[in-house]
Amino acid sequence: MDSIQLTGIRCYGYTGYLPEEQVLGQWFEVDVTLWLDLSQAGKSDDIQHTLDYRSAITLIQKLVKDSKFLLIERLADTIAQALLQLPLVERVKLQLSKPAAPIPDFGGRITLEITRMKDSN
């Protein structure tokens, strides 16, 4: 199966366990791999036979901005399930990062990775 990778999608959102994360917000970074069949698009040179990745980027940005969850696991799953509803997408691998998590004396990033398939929970 073919794939499209979208990396470095930076969005501001309000998901987090601490109350201030849900009020003040923070930056998130999202990388996704979308598996789909690109063979017809490769032959036709027609955008109707592929995924217009602008729609995937916009969807991710909107979900990060508008969602208020306690856990980034829930946000990641919500994004993955929404991406699976896009035309032709069969499988999604998603990495969601908090580049500046509000943890004392911690300057690293927190990243989780999930993989979801169509008709899979």
Per DSSP, helices labelled H in 36-115 are 39-44, 53-66, 72-83
Q: How many DSSP H helices and E strands does the chain contain?
A: 4, 4
3-state secondary structure of 6: strand
Is 65 catalytic? The answer is: no
Name the token pair of 34: 């979308």
Per DSSP, helices labelled H in 1-121 are 19-24, 39-44, 53-66, 72-83
Q: Which residue, among 114, 116, 109, 108, has the nearest Cα to 28 in the 3D structure?
A: 109
Q: Catalytic residue among 43, 93, 98, 118, which?
A: 98
- Active centre residues (catalytic): 98
